[in-house]
Each structure stands twice: as C-alpha cells, then as structure tokens.
Amino acid sequence: QSALTQPHSVSGSPGQSVTISCTGTSSDVGGYNYVSWYQEHPGKAPKLMIYDVSRRPSGVPDRFSGSKSGNTASLTISGLQAEDEADYFCCSYAGSPYVFGTGTKVTVL
C-alpha cells in the first residue's frame, strides 16, 4: 500500500485560508469515508483534527474543515492562526491496513 500524496508544504498569512490535499486511490481514500487528519507539533504526539472525512472532534476549532472528492481528500484551515503552524497528516482506512499521507508542513507567514 503506497502512502497517500500530500503537498510538502503550504503557507499563508494570519487570517487567510489554506487547503491541504491528500490523494490516494479507489482502494483507500476513494473507497471509504474513513479519512482522518492529524496535527503534529514538533516533539508532541499527533492530535486528531478531523475524522470520517469531515467530522470535527470536540474541542477542535471550527476553522478546521474536511472534505472529499473522488480519490482526493482535503483539509482546509480558515482564518489561519499562528498556533496552526505544524505538520499535518491524512490517514485513510484501506480495508485492514491504514495508510497515511506523506505529510504537509503548514507555515504561518
């Protein structure tokens, strides 16, 4: 199972929106509505930000949103804030194995 493809980095100014794509295949992203997104600050454990493509866990700001079209899922951060600067990984169920994305570094300019 190959890793899901994410852009290496995206950046935006405070208050702007950024979108991170996560491209897989019909065997993972396109085949299941089980895409989740994780935020990772250096030296800290990953944090769940989105699950089931577009659901937000309690406590995650509503400026984080998720969507999916075909084999590509997306995470959008609206109203970018300094604390959003981190690495972000997508993950998809793929019928027993789970496959993660290559990771995207979000930089707040």
Partner 1 sequence: QVQLVQSGAEVKKPGASVKVSCKPSDYFFTTYLIHWVRQAPGQGLEWMGAINPSGGATVYPQKFQGRVTVTRDTSTSTVYMELSSLISDDTAVYYCAREYGATNYFDYWGQGTLVTVSS
Contacts with partner 1, residue ranges (CB under 8 A): 1, 3, 32, 34, 36, 38, 44-48, 51-52, 57, 89, 91, 93, 96-103
Residue whose CB is less far from partner 1, 60 or 85: 60
DSSP secondary structure string for all residues of 21-86: EEE--TTTTTT-S-EEEEEE-TTS--EEEEBTTTB--TTS-TTEEEEEETTEEEEEE-S--GGG-E
Residue whose CB is less far from partner 1, 12 or 60: 60
d(CA 82, CA 13): 9
Minimum Å gap between C-beta 94 and partner 1 is 9
Residue 8's closest CA among 108, 77, 107?
107
Residue whose CB is less far from partner 1, 8 or 13: 8
d(CA 23, CA 65): 17
Residue whose CB is less far from partner 1, 2 or 81: 2
Minimum Å gap between C-beta 15 and partner 1 is 29
Minimum Å gap between C-beta 65 and partner 1 is 16
Minimum Å gap between C-beta 17 and partner 1 is 24
